[in-house]
Amino acid sequence: MTTILLLRHATTPATGRRLGGWTPGVFLDKAGELAAATVGAALSAVPITAVYASPLERTRQTAQPVAKAHGLKVKVRRELGEVEYGTWTDQPLSRLRKRPLWDPIQRAPSRVTFPEGESIRAAQFRTVTFIESLVQAHADETIVCVSHADIIKAVLAHYLGMPLDLFQRLQIDPASLSVLQLGTYAQMVNLINLAPEAATATFESRKAGA
Has residue 200 got a pLDDT over 70?
A: no
What is residue 204's predicted lDDT score, i.e. its pLDDT? 64
pLDDT in tens, 24-66: 999 999 999 999 999 999 999 999 999 999 999 999 999 999 9
With bands split at pLDDT 50, 70 and 90, how would you rate the model's confidence at 196? confident
- Mean pLDDT for the chain overall: 94
Per-residue pLDDT of 114-157, as tens digits, reads 999 999 999 999 999 999 999 999 999 999 999 999 999 999 99
User: Which residues are within 8 A (CB) of 136 and not within 5 positions of it... i.e. 6 or more apart?
Assistant: none
Reported as a pLDDT band with limits 50, 70 and 90, residue 198 is confident
pLDDT the model gives residue 197: 76
Q: What distances in angstroms separate CA 151 from CA 1, 16, 100, 142, 209, one per listed residue?
A: 22, 16, 23, 20, 31
Mean pLDDT of 162-168: 96
Residue ranges of E strands in the chain = 2-8, 18-19, 48-53, 74-76, 91-92, 142-147, 177-182, 187-194
Mean pLDDT of 95-118: 95
Nearest-Å Rg of the Cα atoms of the chain is 16
Domains of the chain by residue range: 2-209
Out of 3.30.499.10, 3.40.50.1240, 3.40.800.10, 3.40.50.720, the CATH code matching 2-209 is 3.40.50.1240
Return the SS3 of 104. helix
Model confidence band, residue 207 (pLDDT cutoffs 50, 70, 90)? low
176 has a pLDDT exceeding 70: yes
Contacts of 35-38 with C-beta under 8 Å, sequence gap 24+, read 35/10, 35/11, 35/174, 35/175, 35/196, 36/10, 36/61, 36/62, 36/64, 36/65, 36/175, 37/65, 38/175, 38/196, 38/197, 38/199, 38/200
